[in-house]
Structure 1
Amino acid sequence: MPWSPTGSRPRRSWRPSAFPSGCNGVSAPAPLNSLPLFVRLAGRAVILVGEGEAAAAKRRLLERAGARIVGEDEAAAVLAIVADDEAAVARLKARGVLVNAVDRPELCDFTLPAIVDRDPVLIAIGTGGVSAGLAAALRQRLEGLLPASLGQLARGLYAARGGLRARFPDGAARRRAIAAALAPGGALDPLDDHGDVEVLAALTGDDGAGAVRRIVLASRDPDDLTLRHARWLAGADRVTHRADVPRAILDRARADAAREATDAPPATAASGERVVDVAMMR
């Protein structure tokens, strides 16, 4: 760049249009329609206005969360759910209360998601109020995928924190061990039912115990296998089965997995062995 007559470099002119999408031309993230929050309502006042089934359903949800349900005149409340009363929505908003207007997303300050509860794991599915049916359908799919023991796994991970710090003093190594255990097919894959698994032993590779998982088939069609059952078969070292289990089902196991037709399902597995026992529903 040439020098200016004064001996200093000329200033560049800043043109905002040179970077229309963000720094270095990288597109800026799209704004969130709303920010997901998990709010603890136990003992806190929440206004509920309205009658009928819609209001009753919201009452049940608030009671489940431990909220103290109050009327519109409660001054301490900062949240309100209103069913079929647009005038009440306007009055409450004028007071600075955040309002959920049932089935009126355009009037809502916040929406209530569909919930999958695996305490303490809580999954919320929201569509910004545009399709409660879609949120419900997604919840139903997730209910079928997530084992009932998922919350137990979460509590086990929490309890294992001290042992993990001792076993993996380096934070990066500790994160890698946890990530590997929770990965698909890992020792603590969250989509598998781990029951009473010893979390710390599984994370540190000190658990030599084998596992027997049982599948009871309602259909002879392999396409009707649940995702969880298909993954069990794919990861099995040995498959035991009744004589009437279709070959097409057994073919979903690894080619090198041992297969054993038996009327007496195994009670235990060898050290480190993953056994899947398959039977038809009677």
Structure 2
Amino acid sequence: MEQLPIFLNLRGRTVVLVGEGEAADAKARLIMRAGGRIVPGWEEGATIAFVALADDAEARAAAEALRARGLLVNVVDRPDLCDFTTPAIVDRAPVTIAIGTGGASAGLAKAVRQRIEALLPARLGALALALHTARAAMKARWPAASDRRRAIDAALASGGALDPLDGDAADKVDAWLVAATDAAPSRLEIIRLTGLDPDDLTLRAARLLGEADHLFHPADIPVAILGRARADAVRHVAEAPPTVPPPGLSLWLERADG
């Protein structure tokens, strides 16, 4: 991962925007959509800064001056001068999907965004809001956080009761809460790794890593492979798979040449 992706709350915050013209106008629209307050130069309390100047020397000087004030700076079309880059955005508020290339190719990020835009229903944000409204009911239905997460994961899976690609999923949350079954019992799956490159993972292995609650593995399994699992999946260094796996989905990872 070349950059740390974050979502920054700019509502009511001050953002410096230096420059004018089409590039500056585009950044201004982005800032205003996020609720930021734009100022043309450094001001006490400023959060971040954008520089949209055509001249290389002027852009570098402006960025260095703002950075000296402690601001993180984005310099339009000059990734080597940037502390952060702005991604291509798919907006299904409150769902936001950001596609970045670390400044390598804005065109590629745009193309990926357009593909994702075509896949996602317009009411995806409504599904997010419906799930938020149902949080209390979900906690009552599944008091244990792990059971609740597994039930939600199953509902949101492809073809599930609340499949995010179903444009009517937002209207089905109440019915799902009534009809949902108890969380699935413990399950152990084995993944035999044929290589050490995470890009060589099979589709099945990649999917299971994205779903697993627990990872059991020898110490020599590469960090790059483990990094493809959910960040909140519990890691267990072990010499053998568990005899009695914990609740949820557990994986045993082993090297085929081991």
- The TM tier, using the shorter chain, reads 0.5 to 0.7
Checking the alignment, whether the CA contact within 8 Å between 1:125 and 1:135 is kept in structure 2 is yes
For 2:89 and 2:147, the matched residues in 1 are separated by: 34
Structure 1 CA distance for aligned equivalents of residues 27 and 149 of structure 2 = 40
Which residue of 114, 134, 139 maps to 1:165? 139
Q: Who is 1:156 aligned against? A: 130
Sequence identity of aligned pairs in percent? 61
Counterpart in 2 of 1:48?
A: 17
1:1-282 aligned at under 5 Å gives the runs 32-84=1-53, 85-194=59-168, 197-205=171-179
Q: Give the letter aligned to residue 42 of structure 1.
A: R
* Deviation of 1:196 (Å): 5.2
After superposition, the Cα gap between the structure-2 partners of 1:78 and 1:155, relative to the gap in structure 1 and judged at 3 Å, is closer
**Is the CA contact 1:82–1:100 (under 8 Å) kept in the aligned structure 2?**
yes
How far the C-alpha of 1:121 sits from its partner, in A, is 0.6
Note the residue ranges of structure 2 that are not aligned, 5 or more in a row.
54-58, 181-258
Q: Secondary structure at the match of 1:38?
A: coil
TM-score by length of 2: 0.64
Residue by residue, what CA displacement relative to the aligned partner does 1:10-46 show, whole Å, maximum 9, x if unpaired? Answer: xxxxxxxxxxxxxxxxxxxxxx422111111111111
Give the Cα–Cα distance (whole angstroms) in 2 for the partners of residues 195 and 187 of structure 1.
8
Question: Which amino acid letter does the alignment assign opposite residue 57 of structure 1?
Answer: A
> 1:182 and 1:126 mapped to 2: Cα distance?
25
Deviations 1:132-165 (A, max 9, x none): 0011011101101111111111111111122122
The superposition leaves residues 157-182 of structure 1 with CA deviations (integer Å, 9 ceiling, x where unpaired) of 11112212222233333222211111
Cα shift at 1:94: 2.1
Structure 1 spans left out of the alignment, 5+ residues: 1-31, 207-282
Task: Tell me the matched-pair count.
Answer: 175
Contact 1:80 1:100 in 2 (8 A): yes
Is contact 1:77–1:97 with CA below 8 Å preserved after alignment?
yes
Structure 1 stretches of 4+ with a deviation exceeding 4 A read none
Displacement of 1:59 in angstroms is 0.7
2:171 is paired with a residue whose SS is coil
Task: Give the SS at the match of 1:37.
Answer: coil
